[in-house]
Structure 1
Amino acid sequence: MDSVHTTRQLKLIGHGSFSVPSDTAPVVSIRRSLPDLLKGDRAVLECDITSMSSADLYVTFQSNGVDISSKDFVQLPKGSGLLSISRRFSVPKKHWTKDKHFSCKVTQGFSDKVTSTPTGSIFGKSPLVFMTTACVPFNTTDNERNWGSTLLCTAWGFDPHIEWISETQRSSGSKVSISLNADGRVVVSSELQVPQTEWKTGKVYSCQVSDKSLNRINKENVSVCAVTPPASKVVGVYVQGPPLEELQQNATRLTVSCLLVGPSLDSFTVTWKINEQIESGGVHAEAPVLQSNGTQTLLSQLSLSAQDWHAHKRVTCEAKHLSELPLHRYQFPPIVTLTHRDLNELSPLDPVSLDCLVSGFYPPEVIIFWEKNGIRIPSSSQTNAPVWKDKDNVKYSTSSHLNIFNTLDENSTYSCVVRHESSPAPFTSTITDVFGMATHTHSLYYISSTDDHLQLTVHL
């Protein structure tokens, strides 16, 4: 038989000396034990018995009306007034099924029996998940006040555990709270704070709830695209041609302005087109400005050639909400920087390490390779570092290294080439005449031998 906890709680209700009729019926209730749950004992039931007389009794725990515990006999002191006790019982795992309901039965004397109201089905159900989001100010890691989104995930179940998942990152969140419902289900909630710069990229966050005891998993997803109301996706777009001053001065380049008016313009992207061809160069955009009526304005400007303007080419300013863009359409192109050590610090026989830093890009997938005089170098000759996340928690960076050796061909050109989905053309950084930058003194090397060793002589 399964053991019953022997700890007893005895409490006197009332004051003074008086007698209580022996046939007073006790009040019996059953629930899961939260203190035991927090200690890791997930299936402990607690039976509370109050308003008892001094008559002897015993307690049993039942599953669907059938005893599953041994009789726990209780001897109460005589003439002590109304008493209350508590008993705990760990449910055997064979009873962890969804068709089981549990109760506590108290037998007083030879025939008086009182049974608690049965619990609901506390085993076997998949955990339920509910998510909410709110844009609130919170303190960033830099101790600066910043706006972000707080995601709240709440789960109900037998023993639910919450894990936040975003791309390859996992976290248990913050402000985790655990409570117990009257029906025996555990309620767990967890918060995840997401900086606004990361939230507005449209990244999907998942609240995954698992119950290892029952081998069940449930998950809910949320993103800025999923929670943005339709009214926040409406924006006014106003386009203005070049100013009169530029036209009168016969400037070679002219400025076309596009003004956006609406709520939450941080969630919009602006695309310029000339005759339906996307223009990425010559674009300048300012940060959204909050107006007194609660709306925002955002100014974007395109610098185009006067020849295109006077040829009556069609200039288009297109604004789209992030939810209308394909996944990962929100992009940052990489910045490619090529460096190397001071060659004067190296001897002519030392290899030269070319370092290529690729920074500030999103999404995090990039392809890096090297070229010599326009011909691709085998990838086995280079060493790529893992991609890491920048301090803004949105963009990514990485690096690549290539060792080269001095040859008679001092005029060779080496290029670090990066391919990223933000542009159909590769991003390239090039260095020419690497060894021609050094001012080494020419040396003559002679090797002579004797019977027992080799000797190297250097003449400068």
Structure 2
Amino acid sequence: VDSLKFINFLGICCDIRLDQSPSQVIKPGDSVKLSCKTSEFNMTSYYMHWIRQKPGKGLEWIGNSLKGQFTLTEDVPTSTQFLEAKNLRAEDTAVYYCINHYHCDYYFDYWGKGTEVTVTSATATAPTLFPLAQCGSGPRDMLTLGCMATGFTPPSITFKWKDSTKTALTDFIQYPSVQSNGKYMGVSQLSIKKADWDTKDFVCAVEHSAVPPPPISPSLYVMTPSKEEIKDNQTASFACLASGFSPKEYKITWLKNNKPISEEVTDFCQDEQKGQGTTLYSATSFLKVNESDWTDLSEYTCQFEHKTGTQTKTGDECVKYDLEFKFTEPTSEDILEEEIPITCEVKAKEKGFASIKWMKEDNTVIYEDKGEHLKNTFTVSAQIRITKDEWIKRTLFICSVEHKDLPGSDQETYQRNNDPKPPSIKLLRPSESDLLESENVTLLCLVSGFFPSDVIVKWKHDGSDLPSSRYSNGPSVQYAGSSTYYMNSRLVVPKAESYQNSNYSCVVRHESSDTPIERTIDQVFGKTFDICIINIILKCPSVNLLWFLDKMWSYTTCKNLGPHRQLLQKSARFH
């Protein structure tokens, strides 16, 4: 036996594993199916066998002598072999080992950890767990933790370890159960790094026939009525599916608008799957109501009560029938008017509209069209005009349509976006170099911090609107990480207008203000700096200088421009 254990350790070092199903306790006369999943090698290249060891006995080969009771099957795609035993008796209680070998001399290369099968009619007793800590010396960087289970029957028990991250730990030792005074005791050991001991918690758990498995919550789904059922039968059927839960006990309740209902309900429950010793269940509940109870926008909810808690799942508010609603927002100019237009457009895949209407939040109809022309179109639309006050207060409106494929009506709500934020406006003068060297100068109007993005910018000259060809408006751009926007507008001013003592205004219209916001700049070509007079003796026989307020002009009777004119121009640049 010692040599067999040593060979098993060699198999683990080579990363070749035989993973067996957990221990099981069954009653006399029942059957059991054990599994052995191979990894890191091709099972078709090895011989697979099973050996069992009864309590206090030697190893027993499960071969031809037991052929009538035991059957071997395999599933090559999943690399799994199965041992199925029928009509088990108390003397079949044993640890069943899955083994394989490659060599023809029949020594065994790899062993599974074994599956303990206990056949008994006795009442099971749950174990009590005690943690054990290392008290002696050991490797400097390792610690050994222990877990002891006492006072249980039958002897079949399975230990499991996990850390504080709920990661399963598999590199542990489980010793065979030992009997004392009619009860059993089992021990498991886990080696960990000392560094992990300082940063993590470790949990020992056991699986035993007297310990119910931890409850498992279901996945919950609700299926709503189809439009074919509603149209053809004038009924609406719901289905509530709960899958993958344990234990089996549960209760399903249907709610209408959060209140229990007692309409026609049918429930079904069935085993879903068996694995790792736990049976999972699925349940389905069907509810049938009149189609009018569904199409009046009532809310139906499936409530699932279980040991894991209560879950609820609500069906969609209504079947949408492939209708597409689209609202056309008012333009920047529209929102400055006393009445603001809002348009609702609805598209369908089939012809057959019966009506389209607008309603207020209290269902008061403010517009309705039931014309015959609606029946022969895929698209219908309706426009209403709301007051400035309704727009500012973000009043809610409802667009509703009727269609031949709808059991009732379908609708969408419209409400303006968040409250507006007023813009900040700055008007910038042209630079000195532009004033002196360019034929045209540019005035820049910066508009920032406004919401929503729609804004109108115009320019005025001495109070009169300028044509849009004189200026250009940039797009509204959203600030990064903010809901507000900014933009700019540029006005080109020719120097020909410098003869006029005039002003220019940037006028901004935004829905945050009932009146235009205006910024004005005057004396665009005025000098905001001092002029330094330089005395120069001019040889030209006749030079006249004419001075105007904030402007300087030169005049000469010379027929040609000589050095005196050049000096005058140069002095003007440096004043």
Same fold (TM over 0.5): no
Larger Rg belongs to = 2
Q: TM-score, normalised by structure 2?
A: 0.27
Give TM-score, length-normalised by structure 1: 0.32
Richer in helix (by share): 2
Task: With a CA cutoff of 8 Å and minimum separation of 6, indicate the structure with the bigger relative contact order.
Answer: 1
